Chain A
Amino acid sequence: MTETEQDDLSFVREMTEAGRNAPLLGGRFYLFWGVLVSVAYVGQWAVLDGRFGLEPQTIGFIWISFGVVAGIGMPLLIRSLKNKPGRGAMNNRVETAVWVMSGFAMFSFVVGVFVATAVFGKPIWLWDFVATIAFAGYGVSLFTSGSIAGVAWMRIPSVIALVSAGIVPILVATPELYLFGATVIIAVAVVPGFLLVMGEPKSLPEEA
């Protein structure tokens, strides 16, 4: 094989590895949802625990605000990724798929609990189990994303999330559940999100 051919093959290997090893781009979503959920959880804990003289109706206000901020923030975050290299890499396609489906499971459960409590008069503490579904979703998604991208440290928040899913039933119907939930979310979403954002490649310039 000539030197030029060897050089070409090295170039091909370099290109293949550049595509295969594209960094995960989901960090900003972890950060966004992590901050949003932990703030909402702390708010709910404050109301349920009778802090600051907040009325129970404040919980409704907290979650409606949560929905509004999420609805505005998500399209902006998605758009902010348009010039990031590696969006089409397997790592990032799997990460997107697993989080979208986890989100779907959480949404489906929330709708079910809403109907159960608002229409069929089931106990209000059913809402507390949303945290179990959320933590299970976080755990599976973190583990899957970390495994496919070869990011070993993501197993730590994954295990924290999965163990926390099992702790939720113990804390059901207590205000402390939400303080616990906020702490877990910081550990499994805010911190990983920050680390992933730090490892992202720079956005490429706009096309001329």
Chain B
Amino acid sequence: MSDGFDAGRLDEAIHGRLRLGIMAYLSQASPATFNELKEVTGATGGNLSTHLRKLEDSGYITQTKSFEGRKPLTTIALTDAGAAAFGSYLEALKPLLG
């Protein structure tokens, strides 16, 4: 079973529909703005914030808050650790996908 699917190898910080979606998008387009992620994932602002915080706490993303004129602008970037963790997550999924 060593080559089979092992659910224990799935990173809990990434495992979850919205967090997976965020990581998948950022793996192709980083940095992205908060509104960009909100638009592309279809999540509500509150839900997105919660999941972004989880990913940030794991060191997989960074959130930078700034101002453009008087409007706030949150920019989210995938970290090197995040890119590596997402790659490992996909590797762990491979046996399941066949």
Interface residues of A (CB under 8 A from B): 1, 8-9, 11-16, 18-20, 22, 79, 82-83, 85-90, 204-208
Nearest opposing residue in chain B for A89, CB measure: B29
Query: In the bound complex, do residue B21 and residue A207 qualify as a contact, i.e. CB atoms below 8 Å apart?
Result: no
Query: In the bound complex, do residue A88 and residue B32 qualify as a contact, i.e. CB atoms below 8 Å apart?
Result: yes
**Complex Cα spacing A7 to B30, Å:** 24
Which A residues are in CB contact (< 8 Å) with B74? Answer: 207
Query: In the bound complex, do residue A204 and residue B35 qualify as a contact, i.e. CB atoms below 8 Å apart?
Result: yes
Q: Which of B25, B36, B41, B97 meets A16, CB within 8 Å?
A: B25
Nearest opposing residue in chain B for A79, CB measure: B68
Q: Which of B5-48 contact A (CB under 8 A)?
A: 17, 20-22, 24-36, 39-41, 45
- Given contacts A83-B33, A207-B72, whether A19 and B39 have CB atoms under 8 Å apart is no
Which B residues are in CB contact (< 8 Å) with A11? Answer: 17, 20-21
Query: In the bound complex, do residue B28 and residue A90 qualify as a contact, i.e. CB atoms below 8 Å apart?
Result: yes
Which B residues are in CB contact (< 8 Å) with A19? Answer: 24-29, 32, 40
**Complex Cα spacing A11 to B72, Å:** 29
B38 to chain A, nearest CB (A): 8
Which B residues are in CB contact (< 8 Å) with A85? Answer: 32-33, 36, 39-40
Count how many chain B residues have C-beta atoms less than 8 Å from C-beta atoms of the other chain: 29
Query: In the bound complex, do residue A207 and residue B29 qualify as a contact, i.e. CB atoms below 8 Å apart?
Result: no
Query: In the bound complex, do residue B40 and residue A18 qualify as a contact, i.e. CB atoms below 8 Å apart?
Result: yes
Q: Which of B21, B31, B35, B45 meets A12, CB within 8 Å?
A: B21
**Complex Cα spacing A16 to B41, Å:** 11
Nearest opposing residue in chain B for A17, CB measure: B28
Query: In the bound complex, do residue A15 and residue B33 qualify as a contact, i.e. CB atoms below 8 Å apart?
Result: no
What are 30 A-B residue pairs whose CB atoms fall within 8 Å in the complex? A8-B20, A9-B97, A12-B20, A13-B24, A14-B21, A15-B40, A16-B24, A18-B28, A18-B29, A18-B40, A19-B24, A19-B27, A19-B28, A19-B29, A20-B28, A22-B28, A85-B36, A86-B29, A86-B36, A87-B31, A88-B31, A88-B32, A89-B28, A90-B28, A204-B35, A206-B35, A207-B34, A207-B73, A208-B45, A208-B72
Which B residues are in CB contact (< 8 Å) with A79? Answer: 68
Q: Is B96's beta carbon under 8 Å from chain A?
A: yes
Which B residues are in CB contact (< 8 Å) with A8? Answer: 17, 20
Q: Which of B74-88 contact A (CB under 8 A)?
A: 74, 77
Q: Which of B24, B27, B29, B68 meets A22, CB within 8 Å?
A: B29
